Amino acid sequence: MANEQALIDELSKPEYASLSDQEAADAVNAKTVTERQPVDSGELQDACMALGVWAKLEAAAETGKADPPASLARTMMQRLNANRPIDLDAPAVQTMTANMISFGLMTQDDADAIAALAVQEVRWVDAEGIGECGIGYIINARKEIAGVHDGE
């Protein structure tokens, strides 16, 4: 298991104390957390179209113009057409978003709606790198919590 300490810390919480090993495994496997993840560029493009941002980008992206709104609009359109995940928390993306707001290519509300796409609900065991947790993991973690080590 990649992150045994996370499982030990989780099982040390009072809500697991009265659960059987199987119940604890089921509870741990069912637990979810939210985390920010890269977003597929197609999903971002769809959101931009729905919000009216794409139309603003098209209008601003005149070929041959080198001014910042035009070049920024072309860059954003190229990135959204690239068919790859985009990390909305990357500093370069944050800077581009701020610039788009300052040039009137999107509003802060648009940026907030797009940023919300990065929030995903995932299983806690996957977020912690534990993977599917069976009763063997629970038994071993509970032994660690109790200070019982094999061979002692």
**Confidence label for 88 from pLDDT (cuts 50, 70 and 90):** very high
pLDDT at 27: 97
- pLDDT at residue 20 above 70? yes
Whole-number average pLDDT of the chain: 92
What DSSP string runs through 37-106? --EEHHHHHHHHHHHTHHHHHHHH--TT--SHHHHHHHHHHHHHTS-SEE-TTSHHHHHHHHHHHHTTSS
**Confidence label for 11 from pLDDT (cuts 50, 70 and 90):** very high
Residue with the larger pLDDT of the pair 149 and 50? 50
